[in-house]
Chains A and B, each alone.
Chain A
């Protein structure tokens, strides 16, 4: 079974530019999560999709961040315009349908974003 994949693995952009991060969850997983680790800080929750719907977006820092999950499959996280403080590692995680009663979130390797 393929794991959670994220693209790109690294991205270096200039302040003011736009970047789009992509996450492909494990096939069949209804739940998809985005997290972020800013340098020197803890990993923080950004938002949670159930299929194509946003279940919880309480962690999104501001309206420069836009997350979508088309058709309940892959998800994108767009940062527009990027600021220096957006630099960090963005993680995606997925978990199966609630009915399966699982507790684990499966994480991807992360996308390292550097804004210069």
Chain B
């Protein structure tokens, strides 16, 4: 069984300040972890992914996340928030099939809505 817990349902930051969105996971397997973002009226877009390679993962738009097995965490960070970052962010875990190189069904967290103020 696998699950993710997003510790904050809403986060508000000022433009230009750092962003931290927290995620803890639970998995019986070596997990694959993702962060997806959904802007209003848009589909879910992949920000970054961890699939057992480097523990510090860099994604699009300046976001990055660090896989910490000892803490079962995969927090999302960005040094400086921009107004366009306002969206809902989802931490996602999946079982990764080493043999086939594909992920199985995704298990989502409840989402964190990021608000960016001037």
Give chain A's interface residues, CB within 8 Å of chain B. Answer: 3-4, 31, 33, 35, 41-45, 48, 56, 58-59, 91, 93, 95, 98-110
Contact = CB atoms under 8 A, between A and B. Distances in A.
Contact of A33 (B32, B42, B105): B105
Interface stretch (B19-27, B44-52, B63-71, B74-82): B44-52
Interface in B76-118: 90, 94, 96-97, 100-111
Contacts, number: 69
Given A3-B43, A43-B108, A91-B44, 14 more contacts: A4-B43, A31-B102, A35-B108, A44-B108, A45-B107, A48-B104, A58-B105, A101-B100, A101-B101, A101-B102, A103-B94, A103-B103, A105-B103, A108-B43
11 contacts: A31-B102, A35-B108, A42-B108, A44-B108, A56-B104, A56-B105, A98-B97, A98-B101, A98-B102, A103-B94, A107-B43
